[in-house]
Structure 1
């Protein structure tokens, strides 16, 4: 990045918001997005189910079902959100490359919207108040926010879109 260049600024010379057909503007394929979403959820389930069963003093089966319901909703939302975010980023910046501040924005927006989606599911499944469900949901969100940041960064390094340069 040039000195003084803002991480959120559009690249110089980008006026139309349309792809420029350069290799840096390559987007992920549908198959790659599905692999990313499924691997994210499976690894997350293997970590979160025993951890949160212990933390919240619920059975593994209760937390397992809740984690599965949450993972199913999150998998669908992950695909939709990432597709929309990458297209918005591509339109705004001319490529889907995520800088460090954009990665933080991505993780926060994803987890905040998912929290709103999952709150009634938590309350219903565990038969707890909305306030208790909110505390639990926020704990899950805090865990998954850090996990999403680390996972997507690692995924981008291990599986960069074809033609996209590797950066950290």
Structure 2
């Protein structure tokens, strides 16, 4: 299992990296005011950071209970990323619609593009994070190889 401090590092690096990519894209390609889109980005990143911590904590506990290990095979990583993003869609679409004065439909369509980015970003980020900051060896008998 990851420590609480490691989970905080994980989510802070994740959110800062994603914002560094998305705020300039929103400004340059979609013409949003940088302060408005930046403020929305910080607000949604804060919501996402809290969700990230709680979701990953719960997912790892459920995975360990079900499989005896927190190590994820490729299909579990895909499921992990998709379920995470679905939770965010439910939370963020109404906020985006209100903040940017859009209809819920327009906000959903805009959010789909963001979700596609985040699914790919989360998938790649988590693989890199696990290699840079590997989970310490577990207790005797716990599966620890990435293929398990």
Normalization by structure 2: what TM-score? 0.91
Q: Which runs of 4+ in 1 moved over 4 A?
A: none
Give the secondary-structure state (helix, strand or coil) at the position aligned to 1:123: helix
| Shift, 1:59, TM fit | 1.5
Instruction: Indicate yes or no: 2:134 matched with 1:160.
Output: yes
| Larger helix percent | 2
> Distance in 1 between the 2:44 and 2:145 partners?
32
> Distance in 1 between the 2:98 and 2:31 partners?
17
| Shift, 1:138, TM fit | 1.2
Normalization by structure 1: what TM-score? 0.81
What runs of 5+ residues in structure 1 fail to find an aligned partner? 1-26
Question: Which residue of structure 2 aligns with residue 55 of structure 1?
Answer: 29
Alignment of 1:18-57 (within 5 A): 27-57=1-31
Instruction: Indicate yes or no: 2:64 matched with 1:85.
Output: no
| Shift, 1:30, TM fit | 0.2
Instruction: Indicate yes or no: 2:87 matched with 1:108.
Output: no
Equivalent pairs, count: 142
What runs of 5+ residues in structure 2 fail to find an aligned partner? 139-143
Aligned-residue CA RMSD (Å): 1.3
Question: Which residue of structure 2 aligns with residue 134 of structure 1?
Answer: 108
Computing the radius of gyration over CA atoms, which structure comes out larger, 1 or 2? 1
> Distance in 1 between the 2:24 and 2:46 partners?
18
